[in-house]
Amino acid sequence: MIKACLVLMKGVVREVTYPIEDRVTIGRSPINVIHLTDPSVSRKHAVIYQVGGENVIEDLGSHNGTFINGEKVQKAALRNGDVIRIGNVVLHYKEEPVPEPAEAVITEELLETAQEVRILSDDLHHVRISTTESVAPDTSRLSRRLSDALSSCVLFSSVDQETLEFLSQNSRLLIFDRGRIIFRQGDRANSLFVILEGLVHIFIHDMEGRELHLAILGEGQFFGEMSFVAKEPRNATVQVLEETLLCEVGFSVLEEVLRRCPSVREVLERFHRERLEVMEAKKKAAGLVERRRYPRLNEAFPLSFSVLSLAGVGAMFKGRVFRSISRDISLGGVRLKIQDRALLALPVGTQLKMELLLPRPWGVMRVLGTVKSVLEGKEGGDIGYIGVEFYELSSANRKKLQQFLQGERD
């Protein structure tokens, strides 16, 4: 049995397939079976139907016409490999044998392997690889197209074909909807991204929440390398401006690429330096003063604290142990959520004795800190936040904290 379909290429590696079953209408109106939004397509442009076991395409009086292999037609039988132009939209007509059921299962497993979705905090349901928009069961062909796309990125332009194939076979394709956050300033980092299609906005926030634009990146560009080079949490937030297809390259995969092709490291470090210079220049021009001496990691873990010195502090704090959750942490201090409204009256400069319960395997860490800021939260949100600077941190705890921040283990 032969299965027919129309294939529309969307960018470098994605295809949209439209099965040809019974009568298939094509046009700009959403009532059509194949809905094409390009303005060159008429509302009711063409129709495909069967005559004597053959698929026939017929133009429905469209404004810009229907073309088969460059020839304008009113009605024509379709053959495998035909190139159909509907207005300015190009479709490829394909006929393929229907595989046996066992083979179909294997194909589906291969597609599932190639189409993974990364969990990104609260944005999970906005990250997708749509099986209805990715049709090629020939995963080697997909891998080849991805290799070609990656080779056009300046980061991997000098990489040999074998390493490109390794890269494409060990990377993940992700689609983000418009408005979604890919990662946030302060998030833990374990990968970089190459933009295959779409646009992203890169920006940072200062301590007061003011936004500073850094860059808009598009097809063929990459981001996320700064955390790899500096071994620090993300130093900016990246948001999607339009539906965007990304290739995610894990840091462990990137390390292997660097081992095979050392020249890639030079490109990484050059982009890191240049982008860091641009960021610092823009911060200076905007009058944005960074009070944080160390990069902060967005990490929530339980902690407790008590007031160490009661001089100038209300009696309400005497002998009390407060429990809280961290919001972010660095080598220099921690920001914690206020769980008790009385803490909004805690004076800046108050000394605290703290016990931080880091995730396994790091465990408990005891430190002394000084209150640097007390900020009331927005209505409907958290009560507020306390910024604490560590002033006594043992060398053992400092090493433990550094390992925790970098995701390292003994």
How much is the pLDDT for 126?
Answer: 41
State the amino acid at position 395 in one-letter form.
S
Judge contact between 175 and 244, C-beta under 8 A: yes
Orientation of helix 161-169 relative to helix 251-260, angle to 10°: 170
Orientation of helix 263-285 relative to helix 251-260, angle to 10°: 130
How much is the pLDDT for 128?
Answer: 44
pLDDT in tens, 144-188: 778 888 988 999 999 999 999 999 889 988 888 888 899 999 898
How much is the pLDDT for 255?
Answer: 95
Distance CA 130, CA 127 (A): 10
pLDDT in tens, 334-376: 999 999 888 998 889 899 999 999 988 888 999 999 999 998 8
Regions of the chain short of the pLDDT cut 50: 100-138
How much is the pLDDT for 247?
Answer: 92
How much is the pLDDT for 295?
Answer: 76
Distance CA 351, CA 366 (A): 14
